Amino acid sequence: MASIKDVARLAGVSVSTVSRVLANSTSVDEETKRKVDKAIDAINYKPNLLAQGLRSKSGYVIGLAVPEILHETFSRFIRYTEQEVSALGYNLIIGNTKGMPDIEGAFIDTLLRRHVDGIIFSRVSDKSQVIKIFEKWNIPVVIIDRALDREDVPTVVLDNYRAGTIAAEHLVELGHRKFAVITGPQDIALSRERLKGFTDVLESHGLFLVGRNICEGNFKFDSGLEAGKYLLENKIDFTALWAQNDLMALGAMNVFERNKLRLPEDISVVGMDNLSSAEMIVPTLTTVVQPFQEMCHKAVEIIMTLKRGEKPKEKRIVLQPDIIIRESTMAYYEHDTYVHHITN
């Protein structure tokens, strides 16, 4: 395994200079930084941040990066992760990456400077920079929620394909034959996996989801509003809607109800995540459930295993979703087919 001395020898500098480069010290000129970075890449050196943390008497800190700190889905990840690390005597540093790779990268840099004991990521998208630190730094890293398509990166995720199949099976069993879907951003793999699970179930029943019946949202309430307006204004023919999270489902339901459509008599709606608001509205929302607390427990467990220098029993943990059936879905009766309309 390459050492810091090997880097110094190859770059033609002292070990202390390499250390200053790794710490992003401003006392090192750009030319020297380039030499050191080139040497690091050439021999695939991964600094042991845990050892550095012990020498600097820092530690007992875990970093958690989420795309949107105020979104209830991610606030649950924060709450449950904080509970887990606190029980172990650790502190949690939370980063709001705002769904932007550049901000995610800056937060990563901050965590590395702090010599954290491990980092848990919910990636911003497929453009995430998390893989760079996994490949370059010797520090425990776990991906939660938004997975990488790599078996070597420790990951705790939901079976998002199964989430799509659960939603579709429920609606098909109720007799629905015409569907619409509001997806999450398509540059996030879980959105694509959920849609694939949903469409595969439909196709197994000889049913199909045409492109104009699919709206791409961003997991926020406003995108549910926009999708609901699109579906009605374009007279899309459907009797059942699956939104890939509860906020988008609530946005669409808001539009439907303002346009005098009956829920669930005219349109059955399924959400996902089982947010607190799902039980506060009328009708209450049928929703696919994620085991948020178990996901966080598994992620912290892997971090601690890696920190001890051990290999986790499983590098990729896939947890199963469930469904809570409430008032927003019901059996479809053909004679109740509604006519799409927009009121003034």
Q: What is the pLDDT of residue 98?
A: 78
Task: Say how far apart CA 111 and CA 290 lie, in whole Å.
Answer: 28
**Residue 166 and residue 286 share a domain:** yes
**Residue 332 and residue 204 share a domain:** yes
Q: What is the pLDDT of residue 273?
A: 95
Residue 337 carries which side chain, given as an amino acid letter?
T
Within a domain: residue 200? yes
**Residue 195 and residue 329 share a domain:** yes
pTM for the model: 0.78
Q: What is the pLDDT of residue 341?
A: 39
Q: What is the pLDDT of residue 64?
A: 93
**Residue 54 and residue 5 share a domain:** no
Pairing verdict, β 91-96 and 179-183? unpaired
Domain that holds residue 20: 1-28
Within a domain: residue 211? yes
Contact call for residues 105 and 124 (beta carbons, < 8 A): no
Q: Assign 196 to helix, strand or coil.
A: helix
Q: What is the pLDDT of residue 191?
A: 94
Q: What is the pLDDT of residue 145?
A: 80
Query: What CATH number is given to the structural domain containing 216?
Result: 3.40.50.2300
**Residue 185 and residue 125 share a domain:** no
Q: What is the pLDDT of residue 220?
A: 93
Query: What are the angstrom distances between the C-alpha of 269 and each of 56, 93, 110, 201?
Result: 54, 37, 42, 17
Per DSSP, 5 falls in state: H
**Residue 144 and residue 253 share a domain:** no
Ranges of the chain whose pLDDT falls below 70: 1, 23-27, 46-58, 123-137, 146-151, 334-344
**Residue 253 and residue 172 share a domain:** yes
Within a domain: residue 71? yes
Q: What is the pLDDT of residue 340?
A: 43
Query: What are the angstrom distances between the C-alpha of 23 and each of 121, 164, 192, 252?
Result: 22, 45, 39, 49
Within a domain: residue 41? no
Q: What is the pLDDT of residue 99?
A: 73
Q: What is the pLDDT of residue 123?
A: 65
Within a domain: residue 342? no
Q: What is the pLDDT of residue 187?
A: 84
**Residue 308 and residue 218 share a domain:** no
Within a domain: residue 85? yes
Within a domain: residue 343? no
Which residue has tokens 């401003």?
A: 26
